[in-house]
Copies of this chain bind each other. A is one copy, B any other.
Amino acid sequence: MNAEVLCIGTEILLGDIVNTNGAYLARQLATLGIDVYHQSVVGDNSQRLLDSLKLALSRADIVITTGGLGPTYDDVTKKAVADYFGLHLEPHEPSVRKIEAFYQRRGVPMTPNNLLQAQVPAGATVFFNEAGFAPGFAVEQGGKTVIMLPGPPNELYPMFEKQVAPFLEKYTGATIRSRTIHVFGMGESLVENTLRDLMTSSVNPTVAPYAKSGEVQVRVSAKAESADAAFALIDPTVERIRNMLGDVVYGVDVGSLQAAVVALLREKKLTVAVAESCTGGKVAAAITDIPGASDVFGCGVCAYSNDIKQKLLNVSAKTLADHGAVSAETAREMAAGVRALSGADIGISITGIAGPGGGSAEKPVGLVWFGVNCAAFQETSKQLFSRGHKDERGMIRNLATLYALDLIRRASLRL
């Protein structure tokens, strides 16, 4: 069973937007056990679209398109596909009602072309669009299936996960489910080495690690007759991997490190305050990305200058003169200072050299000192983040932000 992804849209073709839908669908299909050998992008041009569709149908069992379903595109894409299959378009009543209700509520007259986006090929399986207006649909003919889905990710993602994935499960002959184990602080190759025996011996569930923006994710996937049966296969392996990897695992299916940190602080009824130098507000910004962060976070200080480090965080002039702003001593005083200032349970500090300037042989670009201050303990640690990346400054700041979030997690676990 294999599928191709065909993304329709001149904006993608011209590079004005990056094709995240292609990556999203490929990942989803992999999870469902459907192979993908080709992805293509084509503009809003009916002839080239049809040519690409025919080619994809010659190579794959299932072709999934995204884009080209909005009110301005109707004549270009949907009709071309319906014609190709010899089907006429007819209105999808629930979608018609949604569009009419929208205009009624707004009190704006609706022009008839707005209803064009509610049209679907006769006999198609229709996927209602919860987040937008244009429904998606699947057409099956001669052993081949074409699935057309809307382009905006906020419409595509819920439609795929709630409606298209269950629809596709009939092709895979089984239900496939997976869990993602999130790992921070252990490199991909060490994770692989640790799990190698398990990975090679596991058939159902399968175990696959991959690196992703500073962390490693381990995906455990199983095929079974039902979701419950799949998770029954998955969960013991997840437990086993947690035990093998230890405390570098920060969560399972938790979305992001900051989401896990905020959830953990809330669970433990703890608060954190952050004193940032080289990360310049990124740690505070990451924490406050999470809705309800105010339960666990009230205060961040971006002390970019030495003057502010002294004035707000009570770092002593002597410490700065003797050891410099990037030092264990300054990190320690910053963490103590922000905890005293805020009254939080945990104070965290970050001070380093993000570059490109400011480095020396003794303190190179990428050196970052961290401080943790709680009633029970205080600690400092350093990291050298340097990978020869083009945007070295951005990379150092991102990695230092993740490391600081992980320090908050580790401190919380001890309190």
Q: Which residues of A contact B (CB under 8 A)?
A: 12-20, 22-28, 30, 36-43, 45, 48, 52, 55, 131, 153-154, 157, 210, 212, 274, 276, 278-285, 287-289, 291-294, 297-305, 307-308, 311-312, 341-343, 354-357, 389-391, 393-394, 397
Contact = CB atoms under 8 A, between A and B. Distances in A.
Contacts of A305: 294, 298-299
B42 A13 contact: no
A168 B285 CA distance: 43
Contacts of A16: 23, 27, 210, 212
Nearest to A286: B281
Contacts of A157: 390
Given A16-B27, A23-B19, A154-B390, A293 B307 contact: no
Contacts of A274: 302
A304 B299 contact: yes
Contacts of A39: 12-13, 19, 40-41
Contacts of A43: 37
A13 B26 contact: yes
B304 A301 contact: no
A27 B15 CA distance: 5
Given A18-B19, A25-B15, A285-B281, A393 B210 contact: no
19 contacts: A13-B36, A15-B22, A16-B27, A22-B41, A38-B42, A39-B41, A40-B40, A154-B391, A276-B281, A281-B281, A284-B284, A289-B394, A289-B397, A297-B304, A298-B304, A300-B300, A300-B301, A307-B343, A312-B312
Given A41-B39, A285-B280, A291-B357, A23 B27 contact: no
Contacts of A299: 302-305, 308, 312
The prevalent SS among residues of A at the interface is: mixed
Given A24-B15, A390-B157, A41 B38 contact: yes
A341 B357 contact: no
A17 B23 CA distance: 7
A297 B304 CA distance: 7
Contacts of A389: 154
Contacts of A390: 131, 153-154, 157
A308 B302 contact: no
Given A18-B20, A154-B389, 18 more contacts: A14-B26, A15-B26, A16-B27, A16-B210, A18-B19, A18-B22, A37-B42, A131-B390, A274-B302, A279-B285, A281-B283, A281-B284, A284-B284, A284-B285, A291-B355, A297-B304, A298-B307, A300-B304
A341 B281 contact: no
The 10 nearest A-B residue pairs measured at CB:
A280-B288, A154-B390, A15-B26, A281-B284, A298-B305, A300-B302, A281-B281, A15-B27, A281-B285, A39-B41
A19 B22 contact: yes
Which of A24, A41, A279, A394 is packed against the most chain B CB atoms within 10 Å? A41
